[in-house]
Amino acid sequence: MRKFIYSLIILFSTTYYGFAEIPAGAEKIEEGEYNVFMLSDAGRNGSYDQRKIGTLMGEYAEIISPEFVISCGDLFHYDGIQSTSDPILLSNYENIYTHGELHCPWYGVLGNHEYKGNTQAMMDYSDISRRWNMPSRYYTFTKQLDDDDPESESIRFVFIDTAPLMSKYHTQEYPDAMNIDESVQLQWIDSVLSVAKEKWVLVIGHHPVYSYDTKDDSESIELRSKLEPIFDRHQVDFYFCGHIHTFQHLRNETGKTDYVVNASASLQRPPLDGEYTVYNSTNTGFAILTFNEGEMNYHFINSEGEVEYSIQRKK
């Protein structure tokens, strides 16, 4: 029955949206009881692969309806937004992700490029857009696999603000990061995770805790010193981020947390191999997270619509 319904959906989308066929990897993903899409570093005013991937996300969303979409930052490259009426809100977001199934809630974090602009406007836009949600610089919420069943498994999402946690961003180039007390956020992260009893605990930020790339690794080293002990202590399942425009799956010697640098959804750079590399890729793309009782899957969808890589965890 599900395959029959999918066929009808694709027939409809071909007529009304111009999609020619089922995405190449759709049959390799089993829809979960709860599904979330994720993208990173997408903001290029539609250039590079941004518009292509935005269309691809819509195609997949017809098959696997997301409950919401996560942005891991830098959706508004290059200089953030200046106000809630900034035209870049249209050219980088509203006019790119137009498919009806993507008009679900979006939850974002601030990237370093957003910090070049007016970060308060990013939060204020939540009061204007019917889908954009950023209630604070860092925030958390929980979701259940079945809203009608209070006994169903729950997931905790923790969204953090990474730029102010690194000294590099305490300069005039990033004015809103200069006067933020990092200790307050670190205490908040620790306190939230200390009481997190959900089946799955996911943390989302912009900057990598681990990565191997051609950039100066001082950022990751500084961030790691502050976050990794907290993540290990509370056994965070995943840390998702962006920033370096590569896809990387990394796991340190403890194996407690999967560190995933989500691929750029517009412009990609080459990754490097390192001690903790499990997999990396030069391809742009986005991700789909699916949850079922006792199981979580992360699928990396590349710009050709292929399921290039998957991570499965069971509890």
Q: Contact, 191 vs 222, CB < 8 A?
A: no
Q: What is the pLDDT of residue 126?
A: 98
- pTM equals 0.93
Tens-binned pLDDT, residue by residue, of the chain (315 aa): 333 333 333 333 433 344 446 787 888 899 999 999 999 999 999 999 999 999 999 999 999 999 999 999 999 999 999 999 999 999 999 999 999 999 999 999 999 999 999 999 999 999 999 999 999 999 999 999 999 998 999 999 999 999 999 999 999 999 999 989 999 999 999 999 999 999 999 999 999 999 999 887 899 999 999 999 999 999 999 999 999 999 999 999 999 999 999 999 999 999 999 999 999 999 999 999 999 999 999 999 999 999 999 999 999
Q: Contact, 207 vs 162, CB < 8 A?
A: yes
Q: What is the pLDDT of residue 22?
A: 76
Which sign does the torsion angle of CA 75, 71, 313, 221 carry?
positive
Indicate the DSSP class of residue 244.
Answer: S
Residue the block writes with tokens 């979701």: 143
Q: Is 225 left (phi over 0), alpha (psi -120 to 50) or beta?
A: alpha
Strand-by-strand arrangement of the 285-292 sheet: 132-133, 106-108, 68-71, 34-39, 285-292, 295-302, 307-314
Q: How many CB atoms lie within 10 A of CB 158?
A: 22
User: Could you give the CA distance from residue 81 to residue 110 in angstroms, rounded to a whole number?
Assistant: 11
Closest C-alpha to 68, from 147, 3, 143, 128: 143
The pairing of beta strand 277-281 with beta strand 34-39 = unpaired
> With b meaning 16 or more CB within 10 Å and e meaning fewer, what string describes 20-50?
eebbebbeebeebebbbbbbbbbbbbbebbb
In degrees and rounded to multiples of 5, residue 300 shows phi and psi of: -90, 120
Q: What is the pLDDT of residue 284?
A: 98
Strand-by-strand arrangement of the 247-250 sheet: 139-144, 154-159, 200-204, 238-241, 258-261, 247-250, 277-281
Token pair for residue 195? 């009481």
Which sign does the torsion angle of CA 18, 49, 242, 23 carry?
positive
